[in-house]
Structure 1
């Protein structure tokens, strides 16, 4: 998991976007590593020659534009060191000669370095500042010092460095010596980097880049030289590379011994349409059980993450995008995060819903939990919630993974269970994306955290749930359009936009056709809050006007399974729905799942919003799992 933090200025920071790491336990071979490095470091980074030529041709509009390119180039130049190795200067006499876990980079000299650097320095001086001249000059000093003293040809560096024995056996091999090395040369601490604060979000991100890059060579770089290993003297200081962890070393050893086993992805079968359409479940007046919504409670994340926060945490793998551009692309200006564990916010929403419904634990017949971000497998979150709520036994407590269609899936299963048990069902929907996003930019722009809970009870009177429909599957590319964990992105959650748009269009066409056949006149459409711009664009050909669609995504982000119930509650709490209304709630998302619910909503159902003060160091509710508790439970 990759949690956020608040720094000493109260600003939101994402350490995983600043301190770039890769989990080598999930990288299968060198080809996969090179593809990751190419995508995250190489594609967007100019070479030093390209920067110099662009600067000489007047290709930079502002100082910031030049600074950003220098930063991208330096990350690329340090691409393998950043993710694979820790550096340790050492006197040559003390360097172990026969260890297989100590490495040294063999480097080729960079020709024309001084002239290229001088041209870039002169070009920078002629450019205007973009936001803050003083800050940009400070950043130039930091970045240019790293750039102008880079001695080696960056394009030639391999991912796997030579051992000392291999280096000594390589004719003409050169590596870096540090001259008069000072082990107390300034090095930025983690807190120094996290606590950076700039008025302009882009400059804050760039300053963190500069500090991370400085830490790659925390010595007097002006005294560094490339020296042949054959000419090394005992007192020469060389820079040794140590693998960051055992997974990196294991990866290196597997590649060197050629023992990597390639994993073969299965070939999907051709898609085949079902023999006949799946009709929606229509609950008529003659149904023996009429589903009644007794309560709807929500718990949003307590920490606001603005688009400016996203920008100020930009890693070098992202293309530049301003806060305004994020809002224009997604319809999102802020999303909510929580420092609490996922199950804790789910529990808060569940308790609020039960209280609002006036139901005690002895009355609840089933607990359903819908989420695609739960890391709790044993016990399931639904059973954990049942225990926390004091429910001694249910007919069913189970988790449902239906991603963004969690709401229709959960309601559909609740309705089925009502017929079996004729007792209230507690339906809980919650997501925590904030610690699973990492450096995936589309995911960081879109997803948020939050929870909602409903009590759905049997009634022989007026019903609140009228129609339920669920779908799943489709073309292989759509099924895999949203992936978590994605091994190619360091287990982060990833979104492939064109395929998501295709599945939303496919399902929306199907839903609107079914809605037309049902002949129901709805008062409001409250869709899954996926992407405001995309939904409006796809709804227009269906004859749906944007004014008839309710959105709260601007302030909340996409909370997947919890997005529709949170939006339903917000529509009541902000006065958009002030009387009993017939609502069409369509959903679609990861796994090519979809569905909709047609329900009646009124203000009496909605509990006061669960609120809490920001808690950056939560104390999770502990399950009884100590040795003493286990002994007591099993009478040992």
Structure 2
């Protein structure tokens, strides 16, 4: 009997109805399309409407992933939602998605590692599946970051968007496909570089996102490649073996600089930051769904996912599709 592997059997995504271009933002804050594109690569983002909550977007993405997998709610016994913008302080957004989908068995919980949340969630689900604690997991990244932005701060409000993505992972005795390795790290000493200045246990308010952009850029390019190298070493593979690099979609310059540093060819990068902006924990599953549905990512391909989020928290995982 071969060991259990967590195999991707379906992907899905959901975006709010309203797309907002850089030119539209320039009517609201002092900025320009040229300034945003040059520094970030972002051309538009989607912003959630009043009734498009994190759980609503997450439910749509999860349903699309279930449909792609050809599965119903009775097949899922684990739901993990990576989010920093839950509908409520409690209960967990994952439980709201679970109920909306008609899933009545198993566990559902949220995971908070900001932009690295989806990588952390995949690694967590993998532990449940490969130990036999669950058979099939919905792993979701869903965010409505527009709710926590300071719309007077042009250095941050132009960067982020809303959306959700999801994958279905299934425990299989598969010697080739599935999650091959993961590497996770956190260092809470960097809190002041990227954080939200509020919370129920401190200010009793939601707060707004605050970021030292240059410091985040420097750390993202200079430090977080350690988890990528570690994930490759754990799997006995290298950048030469990689088919697709699907990083957190925060900034095109960060993505390309990281790939160059690791020797990953730019034609292997899946880029969606231009269309979605930075959707935090949703960015990787959104990009995975785009690339899977347009035929770029195919069964047997070696895919690397990687992200850094506030905290700092960062991680990488290798998946044989």
**Smaller-chain TM-score bracket:** 0.7 to 0.9
Q: 237, 245, 252: which is aligned to 1:519?
A: 237
Q: 460, 473, 476: which is aligned to 2:187?
A: 473
Helix, strand or coil for the counterpart of 1:421? Answer: coil
Partner of 1:357: 69
Correspondence list, 1:345-424, <5 A: 345-394=57-106, 396-418=107-129, 419-424=131-136
What TM-score does the superposition give when structure 2 sets the normalisation length?
A: 0.88
* CA deviation map 1:183-231 (0-9, x unaligned): xxxxxxxxxxxxxxxxxxxxxxxxxxxxxxxxxxxxxxxxxxxxxxxxx
How much does 1:506 deviate? 4.3
Q: 307, 320, 327: which is aligned to 2:22?
A: 307
Distance 2:206 2:8 in 1: 41
CA contact (8 A) 1:468 1:595 kept: yes
Partner of 2:315: 595
Q: CA RMSD in A?
A: 2.2
Residues 470 and 311 of structure 1, relative CA distance in 2, 3 Å threshold: same
Partner of 1:7: none
How much does 1:404 deviate? 0.8
Residues 574 and 355 of structure 1, relative CA distance in 2, 3 Å threshold: closer
Partner of 2:170: 457
Residues 515 and 491 of structure 1, relative CA distance in 2, 3 Å threshold: closer
CA contact (8 A) 1:450 1:559 kept: yes
How much does 1:516 deviate? 5.3
Distance 1:380 1:408 in 2: 19
What TM-score does the superposition give when structure 1 sets the normalisation length?
A: 0.46
Distance 1:576 1:363 in 2: 27
Helix, strand or coil for the counterpart of 2:122? Answer: helix
Following TM superposition, the consecutive aligned residue runs of length 4 or more in structure 1 with deviations greater than 6 angstroms are: none
Helix, strand or coil for the counterpart of 1:465? Answer: strand
CA contact (8 A) 1:468 1:598 kept: yes
Residues 512 and 470 of structure 1, relative CA distance in 2, 3 Å threshold: closer
Partner of 2:215: 499
Unaligned segments of structure 2, at least 5 residues: none
Q: Which protein shows a greater Rg?
A: 1
Residues 509 and 387 of structure 1, relative CA distance in 2, 3 Å threshold: closer
CA contact (8 A) 1:500 1:589 kept: no
Unaligned segments of structure 1, at least 5 residues: 1-284, 315-319, 602-636
Residues 442 and 458 of structure 1, relative CA distance in 2, 3 Å threshold: same
* CA deviation map 1:252-288 (0-9, x unaligned): xxxxxxxxxxxxxxxxxxxxxxxxxxxxxxxxx952x
1:321 is the counterpart of 2:31: yes
Q: 288, 293, 297: which is aligned to 2:8?
A: 293
Residues 391 and 445 of structure 1, relative CA distance in 2, 3 Å threshold: same
1:585 is the counterpart of 2:305: yes
Which structure is higher in strand share?
A: 2
